[in-house]
Amino acid sequence: MMGFSRGIVFLLLLYLLQGSDTSLVKLNENGYEDIIIAIDPAVSEDVTIIDQIKDMVTKASAYLFEATEKRFFFKNVSILIPENWTNSDQYRRPKQESYKHADIKVAPPALQGRDEPYTRQFTKCGKKAEYIHFTPDFVLGRKQKEYGDSGRLLVHEWAHLRWGVFDEYNEDQPFYSASSKKIEATRCSTGIKGMNKAQVCQGGSCITRNCRRNSTTQLYEKDCQFFPDKVQTEKSSIMFMQSIDSVTEFCKKENHNREAPTLHNQKCDYRSTWEVISNSEDFKNSTPMEMPPSPPFFSLLRISERIVCLVLDVSGSMGSYDRLNRMNQAAKFFLQQILESRSWAGMVHFHSSATVKSELIQINSDVERNQLLETLPTSASGGTSICSGIRTAFQVFKNKGYQTGGNDILLLSDGEDSTAKDCLDEVKDSGAVVHFIALGKAFDQSISNMANVTGGKQLFATDEAQNNGLIDAFGALASENADVTEKSLQLESKGAVLTNSRWLNDTVVIDSTVGKDTYFLVTWSQQAPAIHLRDPKGTQITNFTIDTASKMAYLTIPGIAEVGVWTYNLEAKVDSEILTITVTSRASRPSVPPIIVNAKVNTDTNSFPSPMIVYAEVLQGYTPIIGARVTATIESNSGKTEELVLLDNGAGADAFKDDGVYSRYFTAYSDNGRYSVKVRADGGTNSARRSSRHPSSRAAYIPGWVVDGEIQGNPPRPETTEDTQPVLENFSRTASGGAFVMSKVPALPLPDQYPPNQITDLQATLDGEKISLTWTAPGDDFDVGRVQQYIIRTSENIIDLRDNFNKSLQVNTTHLIPKEANSKETFAFKPETISGENATYIFIAIESVDKSNLHSGLSNIAQVALFTPQADPVPEESPQSGVSITTIVLSVVGAVVLVCIIVSTTVCILKRKRSSSGPATTF
């Protein structure tokens, strides 16, 4: 059973995170094509940035080719240029390229003065990351002294982005006790030479001195750093410090440092970087080249005004379930509030044929918006021909003199259409971006493929109006290339079937980062409700526009809405009424980025028993917001909803603690078909804080170099006085997380095929004679429920513990009662035997077992030093007087001889005398 359950875990991990990838990059004959580098609209115009990007990528391509043993290079790259930059004859209009699909973003730093390049990476080892973030100063070469050559650094970040490897250093654990009984700098490989020195700066001047010990950890103090030799011969590793001139390779199995507590070791099961890369689909689908590649080809694409055509289904089935009216409500919401000013918009209706209802008109005021609203459909009849609707939209573009490439088609349909596949190739070749909204249960896969092949969004809404899915879907269709300060953000989305009460009451928070164009939308199914809305001062707001025909009421707050808590009370006039409320707003001022929430799932298609993962990141600009309460509502095809609290605790599905990414496994499937995801984030004083720590997955800051035995130091990297800065107000946001399709879900109740999640935050400390452990509790099913038991084992060899866990010494956990998932677990035990004569430290790992005897994956491996490791010689410091000896008292079957050799640092060696009764028993 144990082997079987571990096999399940392996298969599940293989399946995770497949298919939910916004990047358009593809590998073609060893070359990466369709790479997108986007310059953020907040970056001041400087065409030198474009030249420097070209130079950086060209150098990176050659370095990547050699680093991957002549396998990979960069073939073609598109550079997205903001609309607010001056136009040029060199610039073309983008097609499918957008900020959403950007692989590299050139944008202001997350915090002023902090220009560290990094990769937004929050998935598992071996899985693609989100994007690379470079600042303008870095791209312009102003940070080369601190981070090294930009081309080499791009390859370091590309490895994060494309292959899901991690850094081979660890700023939280920069030193460790090696099996050599020495303190070593955390690095890979150990062939990298250098000095361990402390750099202390004050008043603009810095001095270096020998490192001192930390009295608690017995390792070096926090000011101690590893300064590499400027001249080296070691070739690896790029994921440690690619800025070393001799480094041209990734660590391979034969030179990989498995002892070091690097992030890569912790996340990738102690495999070398090259082993992870070699297991990638890129590697499997390529062979080394004989000739070096040509330099990359660059396309310069400048963002321009949005061109969109609504293609709306008016077939007979749209007359059922109040679909036509609901579509009109959502389309009005889109045209009034979501569609950006200066955009061009047209409209097509289709059933068995299609009709142009509005040619393209530019949105400059409410006049044009109202003109489009008047063309919404009033009746439904006939069959369904999606291709006729798409082709007619193409004609709308051409009638205004526009090519189809780069234009948006918003397609809504509720029915199956077996002929939709007939125009799939035509749609793909057009260059248009098709966003597909499926209403109801029936739809043709060919329509979904249109969204997939064009880089568009797939959004789904059931006939359960109270879940507000259709309005949420249209709300998610803001332009991908609009500046975030111009986008409409959703603050509230809520609905209910009012049976036991006629009231829908709640509050919505408007924080200082939003407030412009604040819009309240109320819908009903039978009769207009009484609407009571009060601002933060308690003033009643009454001037809603009532649209009886469309069963909706709306209101736009003039100017900037007042910051604070707004209260709404909706009173239904009839029984079993369905009421919904949606609130949106834009950034209050262009100089301050608003707080946003982005949501996604790990894969678009899945089959039982593979789990889903729901992700939501909460940001202000590029700065993560931590400490928020984030919940996901998952709605099945039949309208059943499940609520999931997402966590940022670094356990379970969450890769890094406090990085502003909240995640959770989802396994509560109710049926086959589509599931849609909506996320809500709420924060406030002392509960949501803005992280100012250095991001993970980045190239190492160069502290300085050792040249001819002397340290030539760089200025210390800018640090903040606190790890976090408070967000001094409440906020709320909602966002669509897209959808996924499940298959092979058996009849309820579901069989238990989900093991506990892997423990990833196990920590161990020596506390007197005992070893104290802490970790986050896993659940019966991944991170939900409670496990049955923990199996804790120890070894004196990290590799042996990992590879032969079941044969390692087991700790007695009889009195360890597991807690609920995501609780903090603590456990202390007293070691009773050491088998080796010169054991330096003990390694500890945990497996969890659920009630069905399914085992988790092996936890990260924690370690405890049994003896003080040897430090570097300190010739100029006199030995400390007196003797301070700290030992662990160990009880062994037989006898223990404790030999203490007292020098400037006490070294204790344990020797065990064999018992006549045989070897020692397990813990």
Give the active site residues: 157
**Backbone dihedral angles phi then psi of residue 67, each to the nearest 5 degrees:** -65, -25
State how far the Cα of 120 lies from the Cα of 598, in Å rounded to an integer. Answer: 13
> Is the distance from CB of 185 to CB of 194 less than 8 angstroms?
yes
Helix/strand/coil percent split, the chain, to 5: 20, 35, 50
CA distance 1 to 375: 63
H helices within 183-322, ranges in order? 238-241, 263-267, 273-278, 281-284
Is the link from the previous residue into 189 a cis peptide, with omega within 30 of 0?
Answer: yes
Q: Any idea what the Cα angle at residue 862 is, between residues 859 and 866, rounded to 5°?
A: 150
CA–CA dist 336, 371 (Å, integer): 11
Cα 259 to Cα 189: distance, rounded to the nearest angstrom: 11
One-letter amino acid identity for 743? S
List phi, psi (to 5°) of 207.
-125, 155
Question: For residues 679 and 616, is the Cβ–Cβ distance under 8 A?
Answer: yes
Contacts of 266 by beta carbon, 8 Å cutoff, 6+ apart: 166, 760, 860
Pairing type for strands 458-461 and 433-439 reads parallel
Give φ, ψ of 368 to 5 degrees.
Answer: -70, -35
Strand order in the sheet with 789-795: 809-810, 789-795, 841-849, 862-865
Secondary element (H or E) of residue 451? helix 445-454
Nearest residue to 870 (alpha-carbon basis) of 898, 903, 834:
903
**Strand ranges, E, within 135-188:** 175-177, 183-185
Cα distances (Å, whole numbers) of residue 894 to 672, 842, 918: 62, 20, 9
From CA 524, how far away is CA 137, in angstroms rounded? 52
Q: Which residues pair with 461 in a beta bridge?
A: 439
CA dist., res. 916 & res. 526, Å (int):
88
Residue 332: name the closest of 103, 549, 34, 47 by CA.
549
Distance CA 310, CA 346 (A): 6
**Residue 217 to residue 863: CA distance in whole angstroms:** 12
The angle subtended at Cα 220 by Cα 217 and Cα 226, nearest 5°, is: 140
Q: Which two tokens stand for residue 528?
A: 């207009």
CB contact at 8 A, 762 and 519: no
The angle that helices 48-67 and 150-163 make with each other, rounded to 10 degrees, is 70
